[in-house]
Amino acid sequence: MADVKLTGVHKYYGNVHAVRGLDLTISDGEFAVLVGPSGCGKSTLLRTIAGLEDPDDGTIAIGGAIVNDLRPRERNIAMVFQNYALYPYLTVNENIAFGLRARKTPEIEIRKRVSEAAEMLGIGNLLQRYPRQLSGGQRQRVAIGRAIVRKADLFLFDEPLSNLDAQLRDEMRTEIKRLHHEITTTMIYVTHDQVEAMTLADRIVLLRDGKIEQQGAPLELFERPRTGFVAGFLGSPSINLIPATLTAMNGGLSVVFGSGESLTVPPAKATALSSVAGREVIVGIRPQHFGRAGDGPLRDGVVPYSAVADLIQPTGTRTFTTIKIGGVDAVAELQAHDVQSHGERIQLAIDLNRMVLIDPATGSVIA
Amino acid sequence: MTFSLSFNGTEHRRPSRLGRVLEDRLPYLIVAPAILVLLLVGLFPLIYSLIVSFQRITMTDNDTSFAGLLNYAELFRDTRLWASLGHTAIITAIALPLELLIGFLMAQLFIDRMPGRQLFVALLVLPTVISPIVAGATWRLLFDVRFGPIGEILSFFAGEPIRILWTVNPAYVYPAIIICEVWQWSPFMFLLLLAALSNVDQSQLEAAEIDGASYLRVLRAIILPAIAPVIAVACLIRGLDLVRIFDIIWALTEGGPGSMTETISLYTYVQGFSQFETSYTAAISFLVIALLTLITTLVLKRMEIAR
């Protein structure tokens, strides 16, 4: 068990500045997910924590001790690789026992721990097989088994689910979450998949261009993104971003789109924004904040909007419907039967209490 | 056949009857000359020498009568033949593992990226490019007791004149041959093993490092099994070459002193071109072919099992 503290970490690959002065603290027992688009430095950062890469500047501390000069084997960490990295010429049993044997663990202890891990992961019947005889999901379990028997201070996962098909990925994601509940070791998990990040993390660390864009609890990032990038990265389907101008209108504040349409900003948000009226903004509205308008009166901050359904993508539970807002394509997530056919005019209600307004110049969220 | 001939290059005409026949047979017609040449220079001499091995041909008289298995029976009484096979075995048994070991160590040394790596690799591989007879002649000069730099260097370190008759003294002829052979062919092993080592899965090595495995454990569990097929093929190629070793020994000792370093190739040459025993030489050749076929088959079979 250990906390992890990175201070001013830089990493260059030739001319590429992969990690740019990164500070990060992950507390003991936390499940932290490093997420971001490819090339954001998340894998590099994980490999630097593991000791497979040396940072060019800054310090890395695990459990309070600076480990910059320690080799990976001396850091007491365990890692699960994207391609599993199982040893192809050893049986599953020997794969899992490999790290224990390398550390001269007594044979009785090895047997006990291997069978415990195999039990936990449901691979007890596969112990005598070789990796090539296993399916992707089974290999993934073996890779995790190899990590947990070591009883390491810190678990590192490098995109462990990206080689699995969708159904298996959901299954393994649940298992990894359960695993963390059972063994409560500090875990750092790298993924480019925002669903994995949202579902697994105690804390999401969203990286962009080698720097932390924003970090916090999943719902905090989802509901209160600090930049347009964060708002756009999290959520599926992703947030609708529509350019507009903030304009004082009828004693309140409205966002006016290029097409001339406008939406009234809820009074609660408007007061903070009165000083910036006249400014260009990007309006961010999540697909989940659309709904079919009912007969009763609308709540505060919920505005009516009439639109024509263009593309309709039913998923079973929800139906993603493409409409135009202010002349721009936007996706509304509606109930399964809210919309029937292409070209149908639908009356929508948009909850603007949770919209975000982004400064197009800086990309940061104004309100 | 899925391709068709297009005569004017613009459109496919409906082929005539002759055209269709040509179209069907064309692939065979194209490879026919090559097959013919192969049969002429490969199969024909092989069969002809098999016939010769059952005759009584020598270059000194006109007798071409058949002798049955006489030549083959003679093989088993020929102690110099079996001695030469023994010499060949000794050289192979010492040089092959040495080349493998040195090649592997060099490959391990050069597996990491470093500035000038490609230049060094190119320089190290240079010996294999030289013709073996030139390598042998060069080493003969290097070993020379009067002018050779090797004697000079040894004398310098010993602090007293050291005169070793490398190519004559029975205690030194084998070391001399093996030094030359290993010098020339270790780079070949190096090159193959370097390629094999750079194909070992990097993340497996990283996983083993995180697991805390020692180098020996990683070597045994990951590296050696991964490069084993390449090692087997490299050993087979070098092993067959070593059994046929001729040039280096011819340049260094000519099989001497006496017939002490006479290998099977040298003995075959002596029988054929200084004793002029044509039919007997053919019989020796078939003995060698049989031995090599046996070894190759056994090695390939083992590789098959390993897979």
What's the pLDDT tens digit per position in A298-336? 888 888 899 999 999 999 999 999 999 988 999 999 998
Query: Is residue A325 in a domain?
Result: yes
Closest chain A residue to the Cα of B214, Cα to Cα = A102
Same domain, A224 and A84: yes
Position of tokens 């090692």?
Answer: B231
Same domain, B296 and B205: yes
Query: Is residue A191 in a domain?
Result: yes
Same domain, A178 and A266: no
Same domain, A91 and A201: yes
Examine the fold and report which residue of A210, A233, A256 is the final residue of a domain before the chain moves on. Answer: A233
Cβ-Cβ contacts under 8 Å for A7 (sequence gap 6 or more): A23, A58, A59, A60, A61
Examine the fold and report which residue of A183, A202, A233 is the final residue of a domain before the chain moves on. Answer: A233
Task: Reduce the secondary structure of B94-156 to three states and give it as a string.
Answer: HHHHHHHHHHHHHHHHHCCCCCCHHHHHHHHHHHHHCCHHHHHHHHHHHHCCCCCHHHHHHHH
Residues of chain B in contact with residue A94, where contact means CB-CB under 8 angstroms, are 221
List residues of chain A with CB under 8 Å from any CB of chain B. 50, 52, 71-73, 77-79, 81-83, 85-90, 94, 98-99, 101-103, 146, 150
Size of interface A-B (CB pairs under 8 A): 64
Same domain, A246 and A211: no
Same domain, B7 and B155: no
Domain residue limits at A348: 240-358
Residue A237: cis peptide before it, omega within 30 degrees of 0 = yes
Q: What are phi and psi of A290, to 5 degrees?
A: -100, 150
Residue B15: per-residue pLDDT:
67
Rg (CA), chain A: 25
Same domain, B42 and B95: no
Residue B305: per-residue pLDDT:
67
Examine the fold and report which residue of A218, A233, A248 is the final residue of a domain before the chain moves on. Answer: A233
Same domain, B143 and B242: yes
Closest chain A residue to the Cα of B306, Cα to Cα = A89
Same domain, A175 and A55: yes
Same domain, A205 and A306: no
pLDDT in tens, B140-190: 999 988 888 998 899 889 888 888 888 888 889 999 999 999 999 999 999
Position of tokens 């959901």?
Answer: A170
Query: Is residue A185 in a domain?
Result: yes
Look at chain B and report how many structural domains it folds into: 2
Query: Is residue A363 in a domain?
Result: no
Query: Is residue A366 in a domain?
Result: no
**Would you call B113 an interface residue with chain A, using a CB distance cutoff of 8 Å?**
no
**Would you call B122 an interface residue with chain A, using a CB distance cutoff of 8 Å?**
no
Contact B210 A86 (CB under 8 A): no
Same domain, B255 and B106: yes
Query: Is residue A367 in a domain?
Result: no
Query: For B212, which of A87, A99, A146 is closest by C-beta distance?
Result: A99
Q: Compute the distance between CA of residue A29 and CA of residue A19 in angstroms, rounded to an integer.
A: 25
Query: Is residue B57 in a domain?
Result: no
Contact B203 A85 (CB under 8 A): yes
Same domain, A166 and A60: yes
Query: Is residue A365 in a domain?
Result: no
Look at chain A and report how many structural domains it folds into: 2
Nearest-10 crossing angle of helices B70-77, B278-306: 70
Q: What are phi and psi of B31, to 5 degrees?
A: -85, -10
Same domain, A188 and A117: yes
Query: Is residue B265 in a domain?
Result: yes
Same domain, A23 and A156: yes
Q: Among B84, B122, B130, which residue's Cα sits nearest to residue B265?
A: B84
Query: Is residue B155 in a domain?
Result: yes
**Would you call B50 an interface residue with chain A, using a CB distance cutoff of 8 Å?**
no
Same domain, A228 and A296: no
Domain residue limits at B37: 1-52
Q: Compute the distance between CA of residue A103 and CA of residue B269 in angstroms, rounded to an integer.
A: 59
Q: Which two tokens stand for residue A78?
A: 């365990």
Query: Is residue A364 in a domain?
Result: no
Same domain, B12 and B81: no
Same domain, B6 and B128: no
Residues of chain B in contact with residue A50, where contact means CB-CB under 8 angstroms, are 206, 210
* pTM: predicted TM-score of the whole model, two decimal places: 0.81
Same domain, A167 and A266: no
Question: Which value, to the nearest 10 degrees, does the dihedral of the CA atoms of residues A124, A125, A131, A133 take?
Answer: -160
Query: For A85, which of B201, B214, B217 is closest by C-beta distance?
Result: B201
Average confidence score pLDDT of chain B: 87
Residue A283: per-residue pLDDT:
93
**Would you call B200 an interface residue with chain A, using a CB distance cutoff of 8 Å?**
no
Rounded to a whole number of angstroms, the distance from the CA of A6 to the nearest CA of chain B is 20
CATH of the domain at A180: 3.40.50.300
Q: Compute the distance between CA of residue B274 and CA of residue A199 in angstroms, rounded to an integer.
A: 86
Average confidence score pLDDT of chain A: 91
Burial of residue B232 (number of CB atoms within 10 Å: 0-12, 13-18, 19+): middle
Same domain, A116 and A18: yes
Percent of chain A with pLDDT strictly greater than 70 = 100
Query: Is residue B13 in a domain?
Result: yes
Answer yes or no: is pLDDT of A254 > 50.
yes
pLDDT in tens, A171-203: 889 989 999 998 889 999 999 999 999 999 999
Answer yes or no: is pLDDT of B26 > 90.
no
Contact A89 B206 (CB under 8 A): no
Contact B211 A146 (CB under 8 A): yes
pLDDT-based confidence at residue B14 (cuts at 50, 70, 90): low
Q: Choosing among B199, B210, B223, which should be mutated to test the A contact, i.e. which has the most A CBs within 10 A?
A: B210
Residue B61: per-residue pLDDT:
80
Query: Is residue B61 in a domain?
Result: no
Contact A71 B213 (CB under 8 A): no
**Would you call B217 an interface residue with chain A, using a CB distance cutoff of 8 Å?**
yes
**Would you call B210 an interface residue with chain A, using a CB distance cutoff of 8 Å?**
yes
Give strand pairing partners of A350: A290, A303
Same domain, B48 and B74: no
ipTM of the complex: 0.85
pLDDT-based confidence at residue A225 (cuts at 50, 70, 90): very high
Contact B221 A88 (CB under 8 A): no
Closest chain B residue to the Cα of A154, Cα to Cα = B210
Q: What is the mean pLDDT of residues B96-110?
A: 94
Rounded to a whole number of angstroms, the distance from the CA of A167 to the nearest CA of chain B is 26
Answer yes or no: is pLDDT of B224 > 80.
yes
Cβ-Cβ contacts under 8 Å for A272 (sequence gap 6 or more): A367
